[in-house]
């Protein structure tokens, strides 16, 4: 298979390129060359998608498949015009859904308003989700039988968000560790390597359809117990954490993976069954945790977000004294 990966230098798109090259495919990565390096064994073509496709990209043998992770509608339009006839796998997001309390997926979940113009995707979740939805529709309209995957929380080695790295850092902890919310709250994640492997399979086999690209939802108590097997998890309720100014999800004063409930009951509880039936094979959480910790130990520049251990200890003291 001759595969075009639009990107290939960061996290998921880089993992896709690496997996496709490992399987022996002819992989071309098109990118600006500003945000990292491509994996060994792939070809790089420089392309700033604010411009038309360079001749080098479209000369030569046709591409069998394209993988795109863009969030910018004009970039997707240019790529579709430049590479007609290939099977497409477009990586979207569960942020296209309008109701974070509802876990309903493709064909059932209410969607945000599509935004077909190029706005700042990081200005708001409405921009990000709306632009991704517009990109989905561009691909599906232009490529009959295209695949659209909507990941939730992508984790694993190389994660630039630092969210799951927070828990991987604590994974060897003994003694008390603050656990946020209720252990019955559902959570889910997908290892970047498993998602990349599945995306390559979708490209190889020409599989189409729209899927929530998630691992199976499980109680957060079970998930954190698998990630921190030797810790004594101390569950601290939502209202207390919010009252203490702790932020959810990500950031310097956050506890990652924690989301306000019930407003976000559905965000980490989507149905994984359709993706599993289409070939997604998630690994166990403890394996992802172990490998992410090894990456953190090996890379001093790896990002970790979330509260400090000192802040955690203070919160636990306040929780007991409430």
pLDDT tens-digit map of 281-307 = 999 999 999 999 999 999 989 999 999
| Count of structural domains, the chain | 2
Decide if 300 is inside a domain: yes
180 contacts: CB under 8 Å, gap ≥ 6: 235, 236, 238, 241, 246, 248, 255, 257, 258
Q: Decide if pLDDT at 268 tops 90.
A: yes
Task: Tell me which residue range forms the domain holding 112.
Answer: 2-151
Same domain, 137 and 163: no
Same domain, 163 and 135: no
Same domain, 26 and 62: yes
Task: Assign residue 46 the CATH number of its domain.
Answer: 3.40.50.720
Decide if 109 is inside a domain: yes
pLDDT at position 191, please?
A: 98
Same domain, 167 and 145: no
Q: Give residue 60's pLDDT band: very low, low, confident or very high (50, 70, 90).
A: confident
Q: Roughly what angle, to the nearest 10 degrees, separates helices 192-205 and 11-22?
A: 60
Same domain, 169 and 118: no
Same domain, 106 and 234: no
Same domain, 45 and 115: yes
Specify the 3-state DSSP secondary structure of 277. Answer: helix
pLDDT at position 35, please?
A: 86
* Whole-number Å distance between alpha carbons of 101 and 137: 24
% residues pLDDT > 70 (the chain):
100
Same domain, 94 and 236: no
Residues 87-139: pLDDT tens digits?
999 999 999 999 999 999 999 999 999 999 999 999 999 999 999 999 999 99
Decide if 146 is inside a domain: yes
Residues 130-174: pLDDT tens digits?
999 999 999 999 999 999 999 999 999 999 999 999 999 999 999
Same domain, 246 and 293: yes
Q: How far is CA 147 from CA 31, 123, 255, in A?
A: 22, 27, 33
Decide if 125 is inside a domain: yes
Same domain, 147 and 174: no
Q: How far is CA 175 from the centre of its chain?
A: 31
Q: Decide if pLDDT at 3 tops 90.
A: yes
* Whole-number Å distance between alpha carbons of 214 and 150: 8
Residue of 17, 84, 79 lying closest to 50 (CA atoms): 79
pLDDT at position 124, please?
A: 93
pLDDT at position 136, please?
A: 98
pLDDT at position 285, please?
A: 96
DSSP assignment, residue 316? H
Mean pLDDT of the chain: 96
Same domain, 43 and 182: no
Same domain, 111 and 167: no
Contact status, residue 187 vs residue 270, Cβ threshold 8 Å: no
Q: Model's pTM, two decimal places?
A: 0.97
- Number of Cβ within 10 Å of residue 140's Cβ equals 17
């Amino acid at each position: 298979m001759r595969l075009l990966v639009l990107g290939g230098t960061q996290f998921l798109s880089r993992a896709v390129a690496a997996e496709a090259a490992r399987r022996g495919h002819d992989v071309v990565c098109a990118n600006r060359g500003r945000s990292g390096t491509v994996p060994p064994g792939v070809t790089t073509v420089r392309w700033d998608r604010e411009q038309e496709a360079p001749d080098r990209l479209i000369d030569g043998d046709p591409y069998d498949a394209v993988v795109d992770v863009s969030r910018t509608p004009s970039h997707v339009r240019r790529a579709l015009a430049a590479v007609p006839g290939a099977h497409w796998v477009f990586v979207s997001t569960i942020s296209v859904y309008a109701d974070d309390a509802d876990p309903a997926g493709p064909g059932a979940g209410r969607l945000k308003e599509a935004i077909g113009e190029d706005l700042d995707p990081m200005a708001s979740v409405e921009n990000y989700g709306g632009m991704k939805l517009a990109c989905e529709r561009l691909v599906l309209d232009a490529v009959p039988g295209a695949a659209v995957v909507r990941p939730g929380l992508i984790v694993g080695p190389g994660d630039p968000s630092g969210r799951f790295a927070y828990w991987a850092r604590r994974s060897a902890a003994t003694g008390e560790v603050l656990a946020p919310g209720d252990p019955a709250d559902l959570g889910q994640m997908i290892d970047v390597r498993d998602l990349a492997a599945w995306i390559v399979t979708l490209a190889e086999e020409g599989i189409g359809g729209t899927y929530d690209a998630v691992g199976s939802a499980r109680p957060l108590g079970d998930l954190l117990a698998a990630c921190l097997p030797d810790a004594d998890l101390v569950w601290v309720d939502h209202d207390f954490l919010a009252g203490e100014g702790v932020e959810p999800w990500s950031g310097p004063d956050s506890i990652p993976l924690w989301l306000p409930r019930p407003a976000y009951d559905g965000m980490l509880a989507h149905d994984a069954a359709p993706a599993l039936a289409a070939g997604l094979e998630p690994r166990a959480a403890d394996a992802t945790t172990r490998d992410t910790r090894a990456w953190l130990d090996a890379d001093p520049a790896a990002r970790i977000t979330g509260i400090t251990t000192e802040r955690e200890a203070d919160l636990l003291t306040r929780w007991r004294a409430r």
